[in-house]
Amino acid sequence: SLKGRVVILDFWTYCCINCLHVLPDLNYLEQEYKDSLTVIGIHSAKFDNEKDTENIRQAILRYNVEHPVVVDVNGNLWQQYAVRAWPTLVVIDPEGYVIRDVAGEGNRTVLDQLIGELIQKHQQKGTMTMEPLRFTLEKQRHPLTNPLAFPGKVLADEFSDRLFIADSGHHRIVVSTLAGEVLNIIGTGEPGLTDGTFAEAQFFTPQGITLDPKNQRLYVADTQNHCLRCIHLETKQVETIAGTGEQSRQIQPHSGLGLQTALNSPWDIEKIDNRLLIAMAGSHQIWEMQLETGEIGTYTGTGAEACLDGSLNEAAFAQPSGITSDGRELYVADSEVSSIRGVGLINNLPVRTICGSGELFEFGDRDGQKSEVRLQHCLGVEYTQNYLWVADTYNHKIKRVDPTTGSCQTLLGNGQAGHRDGQSHEAEFAEPSGVSAIAARLYIADTNNHAIRCVDLGTLEVTTLNLSGY
């Protein structure tokens, strides 16, 4: 039934930042050649959690995938097409022959040219069918009606009684009281890159947020815009402070002025003194921005996707997605190696692996000490009262890590994806991605439940925050 059309098979997995970078290219090509091109996603999982059909459905909704997706649960299609890397795009001509495959990201121009040539060739041969195919999309079957959509990160500020929520799926920031009464909604709710008032501003899947309480500024990692944004809470204005709006292809360490330097999927952000530290997931690095001068650049990470300890110049990371600090070290949820890392901020402290195997594709669910610990694609981390609270995302758990000894203990969640309040291991989460602590409570961005969960740190009782006043 696909004869007469150009077909692209997109071998992807939803944890992979490179796979996510390909989606805008595919969307462009689908719009450009809607009468002659069919894109089919082949979801071939990297982590165990990504083999679950419902989790894949949630990812399709989260990333607004608008083409059919095959669940390649056992990797059969991956093997049949001899795929070796995420992402890989396989091009099939209108007569059903595989004619090209390209691995990695950044291939839009090559594909655009190839598709144009195929259409011209097969129109001349009379083997081209020019009519659009219609599909019922997941977002049409399962429209999101929750107040939040896939919240990625959350930030609690006890002194001002405010909660800042990255409402990532709605492309906006929600500000509420700690009890859940909504105070402000920042952003139109439509994806875009627009500065201005709270009502005018646009974001594109914002993730990490950090607060400057003295100057009443909220800094945002605007992930799919590849930008950093500053929200002036007193004047209710949003401005872009770094990034060009285009994804950087430069992974070698470099620096430049904020608004002249392209970024690569900043995923989390932390203000320390007068600088911002940034988890630059797309280039597998930690970046730094000096707020006084506006200069931004690589702080550590060679750009290789790996887990290498050592000096700031030697170290390597694998899609760092969550950061927090005690002022002495920056603690990193290094998602693709399912490990917690420590990055020195003073006295030339080296980069170290605190817990986890530190190996790509080595993951699991095991408490213990240092390298015997197994996590599964951890995305969030928060330092408070001498401990790290870790959102062990694909295990649907919250764990506590001692950064001194490297010991890790599961404190919340039973490992099943679900939405259930209750005591400690009775509670259930669904891919929690962000954590933030105040003295007595922990707030969790429970991403696939479209909810913020609240934990009493004295009793470990988990409740769901009721947002009101929309």
For residue 247, is pLDDT > 90?
yes
Per-residue pLDDT, 1: 83
Per-residue pLDDT, 389: 98
Mean predicted confidence (pLDDT) in 408-416: 98
Confidence band, pLDDT 50/70/90 cuts, at residue 126: very high
Confidence band, pLDDT 50/70/90 cuts, at residue 425: very high
Per-residue pLDDT, 142: 82
Bridge partners (DSSP) of residue 219 are 210, 230
Bridge partners (DSSP) of residue 401 are 388, 408
Closest CA to 114 of 8, 1, 249, 247: 8
Closest CA to 173 of 181, 183, 159, 161: 183
Q: How many CB atoms lie within 10 A of CB 81?
A: 17
Is residue 267 within 8 A of residue 281, CB to CB? The reply is yes
DSSP 291-304: TTT-EEEEEE--S-
For residue 145, is pLDDT > 90?
no
Per-residue pLDDT, 328: 96
Per-residue pLDDT, 131: 81
CB-count exposure of residue 388 (10 Å: 0-12, 13-18, 19+): buried
Distance, in Å, from the CA atom of 216 to the CA atom of 203, rounded to the nearest integer, reads 20
β-sheet with 88-92: strand ranges across: 69-71, 37-43, 6-12, 88-92, 98-103
Mean predicted confidence (pLDDT) in 401-427: 98
Confidence band, pLDDT 50/70/90 cuts, at residue 141: confident
Reported residue count of the chain is 470
Q: What is the pLDDT of residues 201-213, one digit of tens each?
A: 999 999 999 999 9
Mean predicted confidence (pLDDT) in 9-14: 98
Q: How many CB atoms lie within 10 A of CB 75?
A: 14
For residue 230, is pLDDT > 90?
yes
Mean predicted confidence (pLDDT) in 378-389: 97
Is residue 393 within 8 A of residue 376, CB to CB? The reply is yes
For residue 336, is pLDDT > 90?
yes
Mean predicted confidence (pLDDT) in 170-186: 98
Per-residue pLDDT, 140: 87
